[in-house]
């Protein structure tokens, strides 16, 4: 049982960790709500690109042709990434940028994988969902904003743990989940705050923890490049980066990567010099075909000149944790039912955060809230 000094310490931790992060957590919960349903909202807004129906067994166009068609739309740019949606192999999304280096200046071209015809040039950097995404990820402040939100997430985890520690002694004389409707509005909100806080405890901790992990994505990818890709580049010491004109067939490279890792499907391609590849390789990230394994990627490095597979390193634990965290954070594992559950828990967490802020703003009362609520306090 906690003594009076421990109660005061945990109360101080809970109060200040909550107060510092509450406004930002409210922002993240509010912006995260539409992001849970980003695919569904995209369909409603007509921004989702869909491949036209064709007879089953229609052959796919050569990938080199697909990339050529996409490049023709923006000949002054280079292809940075190419990807296919999880639920369709009939589409290619090709990302083109001024240089291979990481940048937010990109153009996206959607190409039919069967006819190699351009279907659309979706604008992922504008509109309502883009604003929600940027506010949720980095507050329009880039990496500093992302890391700042990660720190706010750590404070949320401290608030959750301290709230759990305080729940038992604070509610000692009350039934679990009791909301005393006959008491003052402040006491009712206190009981509701405690009830929803305990009900959403595991979800809030999981979403908070995965959110913190997601904010470390850029540093983790850079560390992976330094730690593991560096050793694989030893044979290329002293060689200049592969130019576009020197590259071999991307289709042949893809076929070799899929043959090297049977039973997997393509998630995305990172071209030479980009953030997820090396200056000498085209890197194919392959996924499994089960709900969990579809989020776990296997990189296969193919020599961009010779189109020969040179390595297929297993992802380190920290990147595996990142890949699992990203879809779990938005409930993107079990289709619409899980998304609805995530949304309901998100709304409950908004109420928890809002009620906590209300209780603090109403703190100037003649008696301490614990006394007003009739909750037993530990003996001093």
Which two tokens mark 94? 């090709």
C-alpha distances in Å from residue 369, one per residue of 101, 189, 245, 363 = 55, 11, 72, 8
Distance CA 186, CA 68 (A): 65
Give the Cα separation of 189 and 355 in Å (integer). 6
Nearest to 226 by CA among 312, 100, 316: 316
Amino acid 306: pLDDT = 95
Residue 292's pLDDT is: 67
Rounded to an integer, what is the distance from CA 219 to the centroid of its chain?
A: 15
The CA distances from residue 291 to 13, 203, 267, 287, 342, in Å, are 38, 20, 14, 10, 17
Look at residue 36 in the predicted model and tell me its pLDDT: 92
Which residue from 326, 274, 270 is spatially nearest to 296, judged by alpha carbons? 326
- What is the model's pLDDT at position 21? 93
- Give pLDDT tens digits for 115-143: 999 999 988 888 888 999 999 999 999 99
Structure tokens at 323: 């890949």
Residue 62 has what DSSP assignment? P
The angle at the Cα of 279, spanning 99 to 245, to the nearest 5 degrees, equals 70
- Contact at 8 Å (CB) between 106 and 95? yes
Going from the C-alpha of 228 to that of each of 275, 314, 319, the distances in angstroms are 14, 10, 12
Strands (E), the chain: 78-83, 91-97, 107-112, 118-120, 265-270, 281-287, 297-303, 309-311
β-sheet bridge partners, residue 82? 94, 269
CA–CA gap between residue 280 and residue 47 (Å, rounded): 35
Q: Compute the C-alpha angle 153/155/161, nearest 5°.
A: 105
Q: Can you tell me the distance from the alpha carbon of 187 to that of 372, in angstroms, rounded to the nearest whole number?
A: 7
Q: What pTM value is reported for the model?
A: 0.83
What tens-digit pLDDT sequence spans the chain (380 residues)? 677 888 889 989 988 999 999 999 999 999 999 999 988 888 887 778 888 999 988 999 999 999 999 999 999 999 999 999 888 889 999 999 999 888 888 999 999 999 999 999 988 888 888 999 999 999 999 999 999 999 999 999 999 999 888 877 766 666 666 667 677 777 777 777 777 777 788 899 999 999 999 999 989 988 888 888 777 888 888 899 998 889 999 999 999 999 999 989 999 999 999 888 999 999 999 998 776 677 789 999 999 999 999 999 888 899 989 988 888 888 877 678 889 999 999 999 998 888 888 888 876 554 555 544 444 444 33
Residue 91: predicted pLDDT = 95
pLDDT at 334: 66
């Amino acid at each position: 049982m906690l003594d009076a000094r421990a109660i005061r310490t945990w109360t101080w931790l809970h109060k200040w960790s909550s107060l510092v992060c509450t406004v930002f957590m409210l922002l993240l919960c509010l912006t995260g709500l539409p992001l849970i349903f980003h695919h569904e909202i995209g369909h409603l807004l007509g921004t989702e690109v869909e491949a036209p129906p064709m007879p089953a067994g229609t052959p796919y166009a050569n990938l080199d042709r697909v990339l050529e068609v996409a490049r023709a739309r923006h000949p002054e740019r280079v292809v940075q990434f190419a990807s296919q949606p999880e639920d369709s192999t009939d589409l290619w999304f090709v990302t083109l940028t001024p240089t291979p280096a990481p940048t937010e200046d990109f153009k996206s071209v959607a190409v039919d994988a069967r006819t190699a015809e351009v279907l659309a040039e979706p604008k992922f950097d504008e509109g309502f969902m883009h604003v929600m995404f940027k506010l949720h990820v980095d507050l329009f402040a880039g990496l500093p904003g992302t890391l700042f939100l990660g720190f706010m997430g750590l404070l949320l985890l401290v608030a959750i743990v301290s709230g759990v520690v305080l729940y038992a002694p604070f509610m000692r004389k009350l039934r679990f989940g009791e909301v005393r409707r006959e008491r003052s509005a402040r006491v009712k909100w206190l009981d509701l705050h405690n009830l929803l806080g305990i009900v959403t405890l595991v979800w809030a901790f999981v979403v908070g923890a995965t959110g913190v992990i997601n904010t470390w994505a850029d540093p983790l990818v850079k560390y992976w490049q330094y730690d593991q890709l560096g050793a694989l580049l030893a044979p290329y010491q002293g060689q200049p980066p592969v130019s576009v004109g020197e590259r071999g067939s991307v289709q042949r490279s893809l076929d070799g990567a899929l043959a090297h890792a049977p039973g997997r499907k393509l998630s995305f391609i990172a071209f030479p010099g980009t953030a997820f590849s090396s200056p000498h390789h085209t890197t194919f990230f392959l996924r499994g075909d089960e709900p969990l394994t579809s989020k776990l990627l296997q990189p296969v490095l193919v020599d961009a000149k010779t189109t020969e597979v040179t390595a297929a390193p297993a992802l380190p634990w920290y990147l595996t944790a990142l890949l699992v965290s990203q879809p779990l954070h938005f409930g993107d594992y079990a289709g619409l039912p899980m998304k609805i559950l995530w949304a309901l828990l998100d709304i409950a967490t908004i109420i928890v955060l809002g009620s906590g802020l209300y209780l603090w703003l109403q703190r100037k009362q003649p008696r301490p809230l614990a006394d007003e609520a009739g909750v037993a306090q530990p003996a001093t």
